[in-house]
Homo-oligomer: A and B are copies of this chain.
Amino acid sequence: MLGNCLENVRKSTPLVHNITNYVTVNDVANALLACGGSPIMSDEPEDVADITTICGGLNINIGTLNKRSIESMFVAGAKANELRHIVLLDPVGAGASALRTNTAIALIEKIKFDVIRGNISEIKTLALGSGTTKGVDADAADIVTEENLEPMVAFAKDFAEKTGAIAAITGAIDLVADAEKCYIIRNGRPEMSKITGTGCQLSGIATAYAIANPENKTEAVAAAVCLMGLAGEIGYTNMQQGEGNSTYRNRIMDAIYNMDAETLNKGAKYEVR
């Protein structure tokens, strides 16, 4: 059950090395603490191998990539692979610029990822060399809906098979797939898109969940996705008159902090195909 995945995180306090963007980095750190993990950030090529070594996993997010941090992604990724640590890729903005697309593709070629988490436009870019990313948000034309669910599930499984990574494609409907099965998840609130960084937070959390559940990684990533969406729902019900996206951000993270296995098991809305 998903709740077991949560408890394994809280019991083991997985340490996650994050090479991530400076827009949402503080949220990623606090979200990791909220879920029961522990964050460390480092993006200097001379520092990252040491830092990755003491961690249980590596979260690579290209949201504000630069030449130095790109070099660090490859150095840390290689070290994490050597140590058989969990490695997650969040290809922020793949499809929006040549540098982002090319970096994400080169990372997938050189590094073995356990999880790739992005919106549908980013994942399509990696899969097909196409996909029209609107900045850092998915394009409306790409979005997973009840109508195109069947082919999108097949696409997610195929992407997982080809990359050898668990595919976590998040949006109004979330898909978490390996080559064999796909979790279809319907947690979350549309208002979450009015806060920067819920996707980045999820990538950090999913890394911690995969570290703490090595025998059960696909379910663990699905648990992390349900957790984030459910926290969005709980946070929303706690909103008071006059509050907006800034307080909503706090309330979502507070809900992650207070989540327990029973609440997650009851509130998770998913099916497996």
Q: Mark A67-96, 1 if CB is under 8 A from B, else 0.
A: 110000000000000000000000001001
Could you tell me if A26 and B29 are in contact, using CB atoms closer than 8 angstroms? no
- The B-contacting residues of A in range 156-184, CB under 8 angstroms, are none
Copies in the complex: 3
Contacts of A15 in B (CB 8 A): 134-135
9 further interface pairs, Cβ-Cβ under 8 Å (given A39-B135, A40-B136, A246-B249): A23-B25, A23-B39, A24-B26, A41-B64, A43-B66, A46-B99, A51-B93, A242-B251, A242-B254
CA distance A22 to B256 in the complex (A): 23
Q: A43-B64, A96-B50 are in contact. Are A30 and B247 (CB under 8 A)?
A: no
Stretch at the interface among A115-123, A141-149, A192-200: A192-200
Q: Contacts A15-B134, A30-B195, A196-B26; is A50 near B97 (CB within 8 Å)?
A: yes
Cα A99 to Cα B184 in complex, Å, equals 44
* In the complex, chain B residues whose CB is within 8 Å of the CB of A130: none
* Chain B residue, CB-CB nearest to A22: B22
Instruction: Report A15-39 CB contacts with B as 1/0, cut-off 8 Å.
Output: 1000001111111011001100011
Q: CB-CB < 8 A to A41: which residues of B? A: 21-23, 63-64
**Which residues of B have CB within 8 Å of A253?**
244-246
* Smallest Cβ-Cβ distance to A253: which chain B residue: B246
Say whether A98 faces chain B, with CB atoms less than 8 Å apart.
yes
Whether, in the assembled complex, A47 has its beta carbon less than 8 Å from a beta carbon of chain B, the answer is yes
Classify chain A: how many residues form its interface, as a range. Answer: 35 or more
Asked whether any CB of chain B lies closer than 8 Å to the CB of A216, the reply is: no
Q: In this assembly, does A271 line the interface, its C-beta being within 8 Å of a C-beta of chain B?
A: no
Q: A250-B250, A257-B194 are in contact. Are A99 and B245 (CB under 8 A)?
A: no
A254→B247 contact, CB < 8 A? yes
Instruction: Give the residues from 232 to 262 in chain A that come closer than 8 angstroms, CB to CB, to chain B.
Output: 234, 238, 242-247, 249-258
Q: Does A108 contact B (CB under 8 A)?
A: no
The 7 lowest CB-CB distance pairs between A and B, nearest first, are A244-B257, A244-B254, A50-B97, A246-B253, A29-B196, A44-B66, A246-B250
- Chain B CB within 8 A of A55 CB: yes
| A246 and B43 contacting across the interface, CB-CB below 8 Å | no
Partner of A46, one of B25, B67, B243, B254: B67
A97-B47 CB under 8 A given contacts A134-B54, A135-B54, A196-B29: yes
Would you call A97 and B42 a contact (CB within 8 A)?
yes
Q: Is A137's beta carbon under 8 Å from chain B? A: yes
Instruction: Say whether A152 faces chain B, with CB atoms less than 8 Å apart.
Output: no
